[in-house]
Chains A and B, each alone.
Chain A
């Protein structure tokens, strides 16, 4: 039998209604231009892209992933599996949710050459071969061909296109600590927020849609009135912060919840990290599609989609409708359709009626076959067959929701103290009943939050003192919502699409189950059902139902897959958030910048690498005087009677006899004997020392010192205070450095006799008191390392430059210092050593004092110093390439002659301006460590060049005479 409905015929059957609907959210007085696949259209302010497209009569908006079947809007909201569109340079935009803005360029994704004529639709012709597991079965062998398969398959990948030249958006993050976090701003969620706020709680109310109200927004007059009242009440309470167009995406340990906020006036998206004392889960319910033949044809929509389009956006979704309903929402959709003049044929599941198939071409349905054999002429098929409870946040909290066959959906099963549910996810009821339950939930959430807050305050020393006893943790005395009976409707007698995002049909699922993939988790991974962008919101329960049917069991037996965070997809930008990249600078940095110094990032420090010509900086320092900003050098102030004991523990050498005014170099090793850091420590007073560390090791060594003091030797009386940037450190180096420093300092005798090498003094420099001066340096020249209170660092630097002008003073940067230290053969921890370099590798065995009672790494170093280990441990040696013009790159391998046996590597290399030749440090096996040994260096370009191991680490002034004058 064929049943023809009256109604006008139009090209697509969808259009904007001529008259305004009472609850419309669009502003019909506005015109918002946009394009879709290159054609110009207009919508209204308040439109989503979906409503604007349908308002312009567009029914097909995309193609399916695998078979490229034409698709129209199914749910017309955030979850619509067919609504992923490209907007400008942004792919995968959820057009059912994204607001239309002027000038938007909207296009369909992954169609070629056009949406109307997509050649990849040919896949549909061979669909019987493209069943689940097709890839696995077809492309496994031969494995060598996989790279070629992969290239071809990649061209079929769904999704939009990413323009790598797209400017970065501005993303942000913030933290929040609400007493009560409410996920969902429907009637129950709003009521909970109001009640919680009235009980004194701070509330964060998060709603995924653009407006609070949930399903009431597109409901009856009474529904909209109730929503409006609740919205007004929420708005009147300053204790409620409302986030719309935002989603609670995850719940983690101790109610740490992630929220993505999509609409924000100043940033593209914001990730909020909320630590909620109680979480109220009130996301409502998600209407579930029905599985039947032709269920993905354009024109098949859920009842919620139809009601949204009609009542929020004034869009007529079709000319002639069949409404297959099993509940009041379906009935209301039919009523709404009839109210706008669309003839409706109702098919009532509660009365045993059903549908079998949507018929018509791929471009859209033209008829619906009912179970009694009748074919109804229609361009719109509305299904209202039940809901999925989005229990994701409950799953993340440890709940394992169970299926209730009577209500035909899942419910939470575990009581979690700080996670409560309300609204549709908790049960059914009238609007009033939902609001009452929400209010009770809000009160309970606030009371529990107060109890938790009291405990938090009691445990937090800086919080407001708690003057009362802890409030009791209240029991859940709420009256539970009822669970209304609902028919179990998942699949008709025919097969259809289950996962619209992945193009997985019920037939695929049945076939997979027959192949043995009959556990829900296996089935998911084998067929990819529930793994698409919808992430199971629409298809998880239908998948379980089809599998249950295939196994001859119940849905409760089959269960569902586990829902993990995030609840909705999050952009990488939001996850990255605001990028904080702290940088450190010394007090002299403005001077460096003003002189055009080339900066280099060393860890977090921005330092001057050079001022134009590092070789010239080296020559000037060796000839006249140079100054370098070495502020990043780690500095620790050590005070207390037990400092020598701490130093003995941390360094490998001895410290108890260091006199006041003395400075000593030391090596620090970890417990495994591997070099950890090095530096000098000076004794400023009886119980007062200043330790320096490498720039990169400052933090580590501070923590290490505290570890010894706090956990190993709490009896030691030592205070360690980091003062790295309290002092601006300037090394004055070169033959004329004493002459220069003497011009600025008149309260310290700088003569070599009074202030010798490796000594420390305190004095006034350029009028700045309390400066610390060391007779040390990394360059090998006569040097004074000045540590100046940083508030005066720039002043002293400028005075040095001014007063040294006639002495030929020039600043030098990090590169010149590295060259000079290499000329002197000073190794750098972490560059010339590595994570396996035990102390003997450095050649500083004389600094390892095994006769000390204890020090870090002593047992390992005792073993490392045994004669047989000397034949194993690599050694740091100075190397000079035989061709003085060749500078091997750092990390070049040292090989055994013409073989490829690796015997070492170059760890540092430079062209020496002082010597006029290339110089290196390297690690080699012991057999190559003897002076005069010829070695082979493999260059980056593949050439092998000869080099010679030198007698000393120092290529220049091996006796160290220049520093001691």
Chain B
């Protein structure tokens, strides 16, 4: 019996931009949602408020909602962060790796691409590096985060896995005029 390997919802990346923009499927990153009171010990350990994110090595903690955090990164490193959490009280730790697709849109025109599929203000002032929010992307409810990489503009788009291929193609199509 061969070991099962994680299969992304994005079967084809043929539509991906190939020039100044990049659209990466990072759905295989481990994603753990932590739900707890913002005054709890676990919230203190996670260390970022709603709307912000925090980097712990290769792990990113997103303050998704007032009582909800998302810990994303390689499985081992995410596990290390989550295992350290004090889950006393009413705290839930749920692995949603298989529930969510995660795409990284990278490139200087990324904000303009997002303006074609999302109604939020993607200016640096309103969506700075590390910002975390949510909204409709091409009519799909998504979690969104500005996550610059190496000083270059980058954003994460996360959505229900079942929309993965559709969403990847929709964002890739929005890239066409800038790529």
User: Hey, which bits of chain A sit against chain B, CB under 8 A?
Assistant: 172-177, 202, 265-266, 273, 275, 453, 456-457, 460-464, 578, 580-587, 590, 605, 631, 637, 639-641, 717, 719, 721-727, 766-768, 789-796
State in angstroms the CA–CA spacing of A581 and B167 once bound together.
10
Establish whether residues A637 and B170, one from each chain, have CB atoms under 8 Å apart when the complex forms.
Answer: no
Q: Are B177 and A463 in contact (CB under 8 A)?
A: no
Within 8 A of A (CB), among B86-101: 90, 92, 94, 96-100
A790 and B99 within 8 A (CB): yes
| Interface residue from A176, A273, A456, A582 paired with B166 (Cβ < 8 Å) | A582
The winner among A176, A460, A722, A794 for most chain B CB atoms within 10 A is: A460
Nearest-CB distance from B74 to chain A (Å)? Answer: 15
User: How far, in angstroms, from A721 to B100 measured CA to CA in the complex?
Assistant: 12
Q: In the complex, what's the smallest C-beta–C-beta distance from B46 to chain A, in angstroms?
A: 16
Q: Is A721 within 8 A of B33, CB to CB?
A: yes
Cross-chain contact A792 with B6 (CB below 8 angstroms): yes
Q: Distance in Å from the Cβ of A794 to the closest Cβ of chain B?
A: 6
| Smallest beta-carbon distance B105→chain A, Å | 15
B49 with A580: CB separation less than 8 A: no
Given the complex of chains A and B, what is the CA–CA distance between A177 and B115 in angstroms? Answer: 9
Residues of B within 8 A of A578 (CB): 116
Asked if A795 contacts B7 (CB within 8 A), the reply is yes
Of A605, A725, A727, A793, most B-chain CB atoms within 10 Å: A725
Is B99 within 8 A of A723, CB to CB? Answer: yes
Task: List 7 additional A-B contacts (Cβ < 8 Å) besides A464-B124, A721-B35, A791-B27.
Answer: A174-B112, A175-B120, A202-B123, A583-B166, A590-B11, A637-B94, A723-B99
Contact of B160 among A275, A639, A724, A792 (CB under 8 A): A724
With A639-B94, A721-B92 known as contacts, the answer to whether A462 contacts B116 (CB < 8 A) is no
B96-A723 in contact (CB<8A)? yes
Interface residues in B125-178 by Cβ distance below 8 A to A read 125-128, 131-133, 138-140, 160-163, 165-167, 170, 176-177
Residue numbers in A under 8 Å from B119 (CB-CB): 175, 273
Query: Which residues of A have CB within 8 Å of B11?
Result: 590
Is A587 a contact partner of B7 (Cβ separation < 8 A)?
A: yes
Query: What are 14 sample pairs from A and B whose C-beta atoms fall under 8 A apart?
Result: A174-B115, A177-B122, A266-B176, A460-B126, A463-B128, A464-B125, A580-B139, A582-B166, A585-B9, A585-B162, A639-B94, A789-B98, A791-B6, A791-B28
| A460 CB contacts on chain B under 8 angstroms | 51, 126
Cross-chain pair count, CB within 8 angstroms: 144
In the complex, the answer to whether B4 meets A766 with C-beta atoms within 8 Å is yes
Q: With the chains together, A388 CA to B92 CA distance in Å?
A: 65
Given contacts A789-B98, A790-B98, contact A725 B161 (CB under 8 A): yes
- Tell me whether A175 and B125 are in contact (CB under 8 A): no
Question: Are A453 and B125 in contact, CB atoms less than 8 angstroms apart?
Answer: yes
Chain B residues whose CB sits within 8 angstroms of the CB of A587 once the complex forms: 7, 9, 161
Decide yes or no whether B83 CB sits under 8 A from chain A: no
B84 within 8 Å of A (CB atoms):
no
Instruction: Tell me which residues across on chain A come within 8 A of B6, comparing CB atoms.
Output: 791-792
Quote the shortest CB–CB distance from B117 to chain A (angstroms): 8
B26 at the interface (CB under 8 A from A): no
B115 near A463 (CB under 8 angstroms)?
Answer: no
B136, chain A: closest CB distance, angstroms: 9
Q: 3 closest pairs, A vs B, by CB?
A: A726-B99, A461-B51, A584-B162
Complex Cα distance, B99 from A140, in Å, reads 63
Asked if B121 contacts A586 (CB within 8 A), the reply is no
Q: CB < 8 Å: which of B7, B33, B116, B128 contacts A791?
A: B7
Please give, as numbers and ranges, the residues of chain A lying within 8 Å of B50 by CB-CB distance: 461
Indicate if the CB atoms of A791 and B115 lie closer than 8 Å.
no
- Asked if A605 and B33 make an inter-chain contact with CB atoms under 8 angstroms apart, the answer reads no
Identify the B interface with A (CB < 8 A): 1-9, 11, 27-28, 33, 35, 49-52, 90, 92, 94, 96-100, 112, 115-128, 131-133, 138-140, 160-163, 165-167, 170, 176-177
Q: Which residue on A lies nearest to B97, using beta carbons?
A: A791
What is the predominant secondary structure among interface residues of chain B facing chain A? loop
- Chain B residues near A273: list those with CB within 8 A: 119
Chain A residues contacting B94 (CB-CB under 8 Å) are 637, 639, 719, 721, 723
Interface pair A177/B96, CB less than 8 Å apart = no
B126 in contact with A457 (CB, 8 Å) = yes
CB neighbours (8 Å) of A631 from chain B are 162
Shortest distance between the CB of A398 and any CB in chain B (Å): 24
Take A176-B115, A457-B125, A462-B127 as given contacts and tell me if A717 and B98 are in contact as well, using a CB distance cutoff of 8 Å. no
Nearest-CB distance from B35 to chain A (Å)? 5
Which residues does chain A contribute within 8 Å of B138, judged by CB atoms? 580, 582
Instruction: Identify B4's interface contact among A463, A590, A795, CB under 8 A.
Output: A795
Closest to A577 in B: B116
Smallest CB separation, B5 vs chain A (Å): 8
A768 touches B4 (CB 8 A): yes
Q: Which residue of A lies closest to B66 (CB)?
A: A461
Q: Shortest beta-carbon distance, A608 to chain B, in Å?
A: 15
Do the beta carbons of B3 and A726 come within 8 Å of each other? Answer: no
Q: Are A791 and B166 in contact (CB under 8 A)?
A: no
Given A719-B35, A791-B28, A582–B163 Cβ distance below 8 Å? yes
- Do B121 and A580 touch across chains, with their CB atoms under 8 A apart? no
Q: What CA separation (Å) do A583 and B51 show in the bound complex?
A: 29
Min distance, Cβ B49 to any Cβ of chain A, angstroms: 7
In the complex, which residues of chain A have a beta carbon less than 8 angstroms from the beta carbon of B161? 587, 725-726, 790
Minimum C-beta distance from A716 to chain B (A): 10
Closest beta carbon of chain A to B89's beta carbon, Å: 9
Shortest distance from the beta carbon of A802 to any chain B beta carbon, whole Å? 11
A721–B64 alpha-carbon span in the complex (Å): 14
A266 CB contacts on chain B under 8 angstroms: 176-177
Contact of A177 among B92, B121, B160 (CB under 8 A): B121
Give A789 Cβ to nearest chain B Cβ, in Å: 4
Pairwise interchain contact A766-B1, C-beta atoms closer than 8 A: yes
CB pair A726–B98 under 8 Å, yes or no, is: yes
Complex CA distance for A791 and B28, rounded to whole angstroms: 8
Contact A582 to B139, CB < 8 A, known contacts A175-B118, A265-B177, A767-B1: yes
Contact of A767 with B4 in the complex, beta carbons under 8 Å? yes
Smallest Cβ distance from B11 to chain A, in angstroms? Answer: 5
Given the known inter-chain contacts A266-B176, A586-B162, A721-B96, please indicate yes or no for A175 contacting B90, CB distance below 8 A.
no
Nearest A residue to B113, CB-CB: A174
User: Nearest CB to that of A793 among chain B residues?
Assistant: B7
Question: CA separation between A176 and B121, bound complex, in Å?
Answer: 7
CB B8 to nearest CB in A, in angstroms, measures 7
B51 CB, nearest partner CB in chain A, Å: 3
The distance from the CB of A206 to the nearest CB of chain B, in whole angstroms, is 16
Let me know if A463 and B126 touch, CB within 8 A: yes
Task: Return chain A residues, CB-CB under 8 Å to B28.
Answer: 791
Taking a contact as CB atoms under 8 Å apart, the answer to whether A727 and B98 are in contact is yes
Task: For the complex formed, measure the closest distance between the CB of A694 and the CB atoms of chain B, giving whole angstroms.
Answer: 16
Q: How far is the CB of B116 from chain A (nearest CB, A)?
A: 5
Least CB distance from B2 to A in Å reads: 8
**A640 and B160 form a contact (CB under 8 A):** no
Interface contact A275-B121, CB-CB below 8 Å: yes
Pick the contact of A725: B2, B160, B176 (CB < 8 A): B160
A842 to chain B, nearest CB (A): 29
The smallest beta-carbon distance between A660 and chain B, in angstroms, is 17
Shortest B166–chain A CB gap in Å is 5
B127 partner residues in chain A, CB cutoff 8 A:
462-463
Inter-subunit contact B90/A717 (CB<8 Å): yes
Set B96, B116, B126: member contacting A173, Cβ < 8 A: B116
Residues from chain A with a CB closer than 8 A to the CB of B118 are 175
A582 to B164, CA, bound (A): 10
The docked-state distance in angstroms from the alpha carbon of A641 to that of B91 is: 11
B140 contact set on A, CB distance < 8 A: 582
Give the interface centre of A456, A587, A727 by most chain B CB atoms within 10 Å.
Answer: A587
Please give, as numbers and ranges, the residues of chain A lying within 8 Å of B7 by CB-CB distance. 587, 791-795
| Residues on B with beta carbons closer than 8 Å to the beta carbon of A726 | 96-100, 161
Q: Which of B121, B133, B176 has the most CB of A within 10 A?
A: B121
A862 and B123 CA atoms in complex are apart in Å by 56
Note all chain A residues with C-beta closer than 8 A to B139. 580-582
Q: Which of A175, A722, A793 has the most CB of B within 10 A?
A: A175
